[in-house]
Chains A and B, each alone.
Chain A
Amino acid sequence: MTKDDRFCALILLGIAIATCLGSARHVVGTFNDPGPGFFPMVLGIVLGLLSFIILAGGIVAKRADPGQESAERCGRGRVSREALYVVASLVVFGFALVPLGYILTTLVVFAVLLRLVARLTWPMVVGGAAALALGSYLIFVTLLGVTLPQGLLGF
């Protein structure tokens, strides 16, 4: 927990500093005439203070019980392979949707997903992905009238 706290606090501190620098590029203004950079500057300072508090808490906890540290760090921070697959397929979907069209993208991305995450057998994967792509197309486009990208194949 303490290591996590220090790690998060540093990230928050980074965001806070970036925010303050970013706000300074706009007109910050004065208290009686706040400009567009004023509010983000205030937020940046507040966030910076909070991250200091969290950081201090993490450091104090580490000082108090240094041995606890190594026991708890492993495992918690690890990201599972499944989660990575899900993120990767989402990103691929995002990039492929417009150029390839909805049906093709869904077919390919979800076939991979069904195989890697749901661990279905290949026939199930093909059938499942096809059913998902065509079924959702029917529901969303034909039934609900949602506009989805046509892509190079025209559907």
Chain B
Amino acid sequence: MYGFQVALSFHNIVACFVGALLGTLVGVLPGLGPVATISILLPITLSMEPVTAIIMLAGIYYGAQYGGSITSILINVPGEATTVVTCIEGHQMALQGRAGPALGISAIGSFIGGTLSLVGIMFLAAPLASFALKFGPPEFTALIFLAITLITSMAVGSPIKGLATAALGMLTGVVGMDLGSGVPRFTFGIRALYDGVGLVPVIMGLFGIGEILTNVEEKSAPDIIKTKLNHIWPTRTDWLQSRLPILRGTVVGFFLGLIPGGGALISTFASYTLEKKISRHPEKFGHGAIEGLAGPETANNTGAQASFVPMLSLGLPSNVVTAILIGALVIHGVEPGPLMISTNPDIFWGVLVSMYIGNVMLLILNLPLIALWVQILRIPYKLLLPLIMLFCLVGVYSTNLNIFDVFVMIFFGIVGYLMHKFHYEPAPFVMGLVLCPIFENAFRQSLSLSDGSFLIFFNRPISAVLMICGLCLLASYLLPWCRRKIKVLQENACD
């Protein structure tokens, strides 16, 4: 109830509304997914109160996700991996002239999923908070280790490359004054680097500028379906068909979202696979089955919402978006961690409830506005590009009024572009950067505690379980990889 009080205060409602609206607007723009949207819009929230800023960023996040659903359904361009499934079924529905119900059911499914997961989180928060209090440095080291192995195992392409990217991100996080000794590290005598490499220029570079550079090379213009959008409300049969998938999507999304490294992405795929498996008409999947849209869209939203729980209760990001949000909290001077539910209950409950309210807003706001979003989709990318660029430039400069940040952004823009070219994912990089200070601190403290023995990570039950999970995961993709390579060599030797 306290959360409703916080979230329903006037300026927080406005922040939520503006965030959801802006998020949808930018998310609809071709070629910009939710992560790019948050990165580009991050600077405008920095002058606000922490609660309001995070509420707005969360609004931007699910707004952008909804925007992504719109582009997926209408032009078959997934803004991000999470909407790939939406493309499969939703675009088929649109081709059959049912774009309206497709958009409608994704909004309604998200809303229902959001409502139910909020109830779930309410029951979970108290035990989770007391559990989190048992965490000491070794547990945090183990947890972050597990989170990084999880996130890299989900990286597109090779997990080894994902690990390398995460290590690079951590290295970037090392730059600046060492917290323990006050010694500046890797600053190359540049005074602006003493405070470390700023998160805002890095993510705006990697996702904003990097995306621009990648998109400017791809010349094809997407086709938008010309379809009548006058009936958005799903029909009675649609309802009956999507009722259970929405409920199952909620359950799947909720539990997968709670796991570090989980969140929206695996939830959508898991839900889609589940729906296809238990459907009586699996042959309809891929040809516009509404079950295959309703389930994953719900799971997507629920998973995103549930992934805020590890972020707000442990200070542990489970995906890039929550990593960026943690970075934003740190910029606002809020220490995310196990104490957050007790020290900053306004943030914890306010944000969760605001996500719920945001879903209601999306529902009322977007159904009538879809026609407008479709118009925005028609803006050619070459005209959008200067606007996005200017927004990035002004945004990054105005955060600290420091021209150095602009160059940091350009540098990481090039890095992001090259990463894309060479099939390295930027997501683990951001995770590494954000987690670096927490990880280094926890790691060094653990070693000091144990007098230099690594056994400390295995002597304590919680950290041992986490560490072993992480190591198993690591082995699960390193060993098959080695075996494959050895096989290739052996075959080659035989030839």
Contacts and interface: CB of A to CB of B under 8 A. Distances in A.
B181 A36 contact: yes
A90 B393 contact: yes
A147 B382 CA distance: 28
- Count chain B CB atoms within 10 A of each CB in A37, A51, A90 and give the residue with the most: A90
Contacts of A94: 403, 406-407, 410
A86 B488 contact: no
Contact of B171 (A19, A51, A86, A114): A19
B444 A34 contact: yes
Nearest to A29: B444
B406 A15 contact: no
A7 B382 CA distance: 32
Given A118-B382, A118-B386, A91 B447 contact: no
B167 to A, nearest CB: 4
B244 interface: no
A76 B422 CA distance: 9
Interface string A58-97: 0011011000000000001100101100110111011001
Interface stretch (B91-99, B211-219, B259-267): B211-219
Interface stretch (B28-36, B235-243, B354-362, B413-421): B413-421
A148 B394 contact: yes
A39 B174 contact: yes
A12 B406 contact: no
B398 A110 contact: no
A80 B216 contact: yes
Contacts of A23: 185
Nearest to A89: B389
Given A12-B164, A60-B485, A34 B213 contact: no
Chain A binding surface, main DSSP class: helix
B404 to A, nearest CB: 9
Contacts of A87: 213, 410, 413-414
Given A60-B488, A113-B389, A117-B382, A33 B448 contact: yes
Contact of A90 (B158, B185, B186, B389): B389
A61 B216 contact: no
B190 interface: no
A90 B413 CA distance: 10
Contacts of A27: 181, 183
B390 interface: yes
A34 B448 contact: yes
A59 to B, nearest CB: 9
Interface string B467-495: 00000000000100100010011011000
A132 B90 CA distance: 36
A47 B186 CA distance: 16
Given A64-B492, A132-B386, A83 B183 contact: no
Contacts of A138: none
B167 A36 contact: no
A97 B491 contact: no
B440 A39 contact: yes
Interface in B429-458: 440, 443-444, 447-448, 450-454
A19 B478 CA distance: 24
Contacts of A56: 485
Contacts of A60: 485, 488-489
Contacts of A22: 185-186
Contacts of A31: 447, 452-454
Nearest to B405: A94
Contacts of A106: 390
A51 to B, nearest CB: 7
Contacts of B121: none
B207 to A, nearest CB: 15
Contacts of B417: 83
Nearest to B175: A40
Given A8-B422, A30-B452, A97 B385 contact: no
B365 interface: no
A4 B178 CA distance: 35
Contacts of A101: none
A151 interface: no
B161 interface: yes
Nearest to A102: B394
Contacts of A63: 488-489, 492
Contact of B386 (A26, A53, A110, A144): A110
In the A-B complex, list the 10 residue pairs whose CB atoms are closest, starting with the nearest: A32-B452, A31-B452, A36-B178, A118-B382, A50-B164, A47-B167, A94-B406, A80-B217, A82-B216, A39-B440
19 contacts: A8-B424, A19-B171, A22-B185, A32-B448, A36-B183, A39-B440, A44-B171, A54-B160, A56-B485, A60-B489, A87-B213, A91-B410, A93-B393, A113-B385, A132-B387, A144-B44, A147-B401, A148-B397, A148-B398
Given A8-B422, A40-B171, A117-B216, 12 more contacts: A1-B423, A31-B454, A35-B180, A39-B443, A43-B174, A54-B164, A83-B216, A86-B389, A90-B393, A94-B410, A97-B397, A132-B386
